[in-house]
Amino acid sequence: MNVHHLELFYYVARHGGISAAARRIPYGIQQPAISAQILQLEDALSTTLFHRRPFQLTSTGETLYRFIEPFFSGLPEIERSLRGGAAPRLRIGCPETVQREYLPAVLRSLRKRLPNLQFSLLSGRLEQLEQRLLAQDIDVGVSALIGKRPEGIREQELIQLPMALVVPEKSGFSAAEKIWEHDRIDVPLLTLPQSDPMCRLFQQEMRKRGIDWYPSLELGSIELVTRYVAEGYGVGLTVDAPAVNPEGTRLLPLRDFPSVPFGVIWMGTLSPVGETFVEEARSVARRMLGV
DNA sequence: ATAGTGGCGTCCGCAGAATG
DNA sequence: CATTCTGCGGACGCCACTAT
């Protein structure tokens, strides 16, 4: 039994499987290597730690996991403290749009309350943020909250923003419905990547209405969508939020489409700094809505 | 889709020799 | 005596593949 075996055992138990662990372990390692290490550990202990298919801890495995979990889960914290990091620290993940348009205000008020706060920002959208949380790369994420969170991830909704289409200012469209009133839609659609939850929600709503309109151009951020719309590439899918729509474009509300909830996600118990962050995030969201 | 196997290459630690 | 160099062997990871 060596510490490396135990570390891999920890990740496998934590993520509920070898492949899941391989995807989330914060350094590069592939599934066969983990598989072999777990077998070696079981061999060294002359016992079975996991049932396979479905992959699940045995009672021996449970015992070992209870013993090692506090050690491995506490490593990031002790590392921080050994680095002399008594200063509160928060690692925040969110899409670039949120980083640019929303986070500065939150961090401003957060730093008033915690002047020596250190923070780091990582960009990513919902699914990546969930992965980052599970891998303990970030402490909190701010994102659209569509669908169900994976096991262990908690959420707090901050704001609901209506979906909208963004069109060039000078285009003739007066309403979103006008775009799809004909049988064939000849306007290109610009969206976030199709894997994005908001994009999927939009497609789902369109299917309900019996309309086929698929993205011609997928872009990495809402800004880019709006930017390319302003350049005349087509019509974009966006949210009606203060400050995201630059000159040269105009929003068409998507009537009877669901709003997109935005909020904070985290894993396990939120640290005091994390809680302060959520409080400030909520009050900034309320101010943005003018409530 | 996920766990396990085999072959192969790489890396790392150890022991012993060489050096200052 | 401490440090550096060198060669060797084992542990481990990756890729390609099979089994379920």
With a 7 Å cutoff on the CB, does A31 touch strand B?
Answer: yes
Q: Is the dihedral of CA A14, A17, A18, A20 positive or negative?
A: negative
Using only C-alpha atoms, chain A has a radius of gyration, in whole angstroms, of 23
Boundaries of every domain in chain A = 3-73, 87-159+261-288, 160-260
Q: Do domains A87-159+261-288 and A160-260 have the same CATH topology?
A: yes
Predicted model pTM: 0.62
**For A121-180, how does the pLDDT look when each residue is reduced to its tens digit (9 = 90+)?**
998 888 889 888 887 788 999 999 988 888 778 899 998 889 999 998 888 888 888 888
CATH code of the domain made up of A3-73: 1.10.10.10
**For A198-208, how does the pLDDT look when each residue is reduced to its tens digit (9 = 90+)?**
888 898 888 88
- Cα–Cα distance measured from residue A273 to residue A135, given in angstroms and rounded to the nearest whole number: 19
- The torsion region of residue A213 among left (phi > 0), alpha (psi -120 to 50) and beta comes to beta
Contact residues for A50 (Cβ-Cβ < 8 A; gap 6+): A12, A13, A38, A42, A56, A57, A58, A61
* pLDDT for residue A53: 67
For A248, phi then psi, to 5°, come to 90, 0
Helix residue ranges, H only, chain A: 3-15, 18-24, 31-45, 59-73, 75-82, 96-101, 103-113, 126-134, 176-179, 197-208, 222-230, 272-288
Q: Supply the DSSP symbol for A238.
A: E
With a 7 Å cutoff on the CB, does A27 touch strand B?
Answer: no
Find, among A262, A265, A66, the residue nearest to A150 by Cα. A265
Question: Would you say residue A84 has pLDDT above 70?
Answer: no
With a 7 Å cutoff on the CB, does A39 touch strand B?
Answer: yes
**For A50-69, how does the pLDDT look when each residue is reduced to its tens digit (9 = 90+)?**
887 677 888 888 888 888 88
Determine the length of chain A. 291
Find, among A98, A118, A95, the residue nearest to A106 by Cα. A98
- In the 121-160 segment of chain A, residues within 7 Å (Cβ) of strand B are none
CA A70 → C1' B12, Å? 29
Q: Which CATH number fits domain A87-159+261-288: 3.40.50.300, 3.40.50.2300, 3.30.160.620, 3.40.190.10?
A: 3.40.190.10
- Cα–Cα distance measured from residue A14 to residue A26, given in angstroms and rounded to the nearest whole number: 13
Domain A160-260 bears CATH identifier 1.10.40.50? no
